[in-house]
Amino acid sequence: MKNKKLWGGRFSESTSDITERISASVHYDKRLFRQDIEGSIAHAKMLSKTGILSGGEFNSIKDGLEQILKEIEDGSFVFDAGLEDIHMNIEAKLTERIGDTGKKLHTARSRNDQVALDLRLYIKEESTGIEERLKALVALLTDFAESHIDVLLPGYTHMQVAQPVRLGHHMLVYSWQLLRDLKRLNQVSEACDILPLGAGALAGVNYPIDREFVRKELGFKGITMNSMDTVSDRDFVLDFLYFAAVLGMHLSRFCEELVLWSSSEFGFIRLSDRVTTGSSIMPQKRNPDVAELIRGKSGRLYGNLLSLLTTLKGLPLTYNRDLQEDKEPLFDSVDTVKLCLDGIYEMISSVKINEERMKDALYSNFSTATDLADYLVKKGVPFRESHKTVGEIVGYSEKNRIPFFDIPLEALKNFSPHFSDDVRDILNPESSTERKESAGGTSRKEILKQISAIKKILS
């Protein structure tokens, strides 16, 4: 029979070529080899503890698996697509190496609970590396905000100049977004921290196994309580894909601003040559390709989440082969998230700020109009009336081509008798941020509070 399938006892015909090709997953799930071998050693150790395997059999299995691990790591292991997946490849090679003892490894487990174990271990491990990247990026952004706390620029709504803000305040937005992403990632790790091994194919197993022993060996916090739920559940994968999609959205928004700010129209920043590219036809170009590609990769992160949601939505209990389609979206999202975080870190660590262009932009579009309205409110004018008055002043400035920030006091008094000499400081956008007295605002003292809070969270 073709490739001597480990499950082929009841079959009399070989599988067709299309069955072979559509069933094969080892070309991508082989990245689970470490988790598969780690889980198999823990499982064999438990079988030995409960008397299902002898001590000698366990040692033989353990030595054989460790040898296979080394061969996969050094690239000498040959994977066989005909054996379908990483689990069968490892088990077949083990049996070839140590004989019939290798055939005992799969006692009291199924590929169904085995792959659930591998995926949980994989996400836990990858989440640790992603967490380190997230924390490093938050620290970088927070340090950047602190070192540029006195740089001013316009804040925008509807892509129109709105009010003056400090650059540090603007950059800390992304620190807070990433901290929320970090919280979601921690929830992913928590969801994965439940041992599935021992559920069998769907109903449990016919042996006196010790799931608590395996739990402790593999460092899980708990064990699953329903065997049918265990093998059909991929919520923990969805949790990771959702985390990745939201993170991708945050990074995409960040990159959109980097693209805009590095344009000649804004000129707020200059991205390093290390993260920009040239044009095949236009010699002058410095294209923000890294930012654009990270922005674009948010789409594949969204797609990976939607892909698995769609796969799962119509599946009856319990295990169905459709679940094999969970891995490629997961692996792609893991790789994409790490790549994007590394790219953002590289851009921010080497970016140059054009403080003068940011300062000039403060004077471009009535950025202290709200300050002027609030000035009148403090003089006793109802806000709606002051709003109307300042709107008329803006119209006067536009119509007469008089810079809003330089309107003479005599002209202002034509709109309201409440204006006096102190209005000049109110019109100045460079003093605006320190009038923001509310907690969480863009004043220097409030930004320092944010920085202190973020550093405390990171520590």
**pLDDT-based confidence at 3, cuts 50/70/90?**
low
Q: Are 301 and 433 contained in the same domain?
A: no
pTM here is 0.94
Number of domains in the chain: 3
Residue 404: give the domain boundaries. Answer: 362-442
Q: Is 43 a catalytic residue?
A: no
Q: Is the pLDDT confidence value at 378 over 90?
A: yes
Percentage of the chain beyond pLDDT 90 is 94
The per-residue DSSP string of 177-203 comes to: HHHHHHHHHHHHHHHH-EE-TT-TTTT
Q: Which of 296, 327, 360 is the last residue of a domain?
A: 360
pLDDT mean across residues, the chain: 96
Marked catalytic residue, from 158, 264, 438, 459:
158
Q: Is the pLDDT confidence value at 5 over 80?
A: no
Please name every residue paired with 156 in a beta bridge, in sequence order, or none if there are none: 161
Q: Which two tokens mark 149?
A: 């706390």
Q: Is the pLDDT confidence value at 2 over 50?
A: no
What would the mean pLDDT of 62-81 be, rounded to a whole number? Answer: 97
Q: Is the pLDDT confidence value at 1 over 50?
A: no
> 3-state secondary structure string, 284-307?
CCCECHHHHHHHHHHHHHHHHHHH
- Predicted local distance difference test score (pLDDT) of residue 365: 87
Q: Which of 360, 389, 409 is the last residue of a domain?
A: 360
Q: Are 292 and 278 contained in the same domain?
A: yes
Q: Is 158 a catalytic residue?
A: yes
Q: Give CA separation, 52 vs 42, 226, 363, in Å.
A: 14, 24, 79
Q: Which amino acid is at 40?
A: S
What would the mean pLDDT of 6-34 be, rounded to a whole number? Answer: 86
Q: Which of 360, 379, 394 is the last residue of a domain?
A: 360
What would the mean pLDDT of 362-374 be, rounded to a whole number? Answer: 94
Q: Are 356 and 280 contained in the same domain?
A: yes
Q: Are 405 and 263 contained in the same domain?
A: no
Marked catalytic residue, from 279, 350, 364, 420:
279
Per the domain annotation, does 153 fall within a domain? no
Q: Are 299 and 344 contained in the same domain?
A: yes
- Predicted local distance difference test score (pLDDT) of residue 205: 98
Per the domain annotation, does 286 fall within a domain? yes
Q: Are 430 and 296 contained in the same domain?
A: no
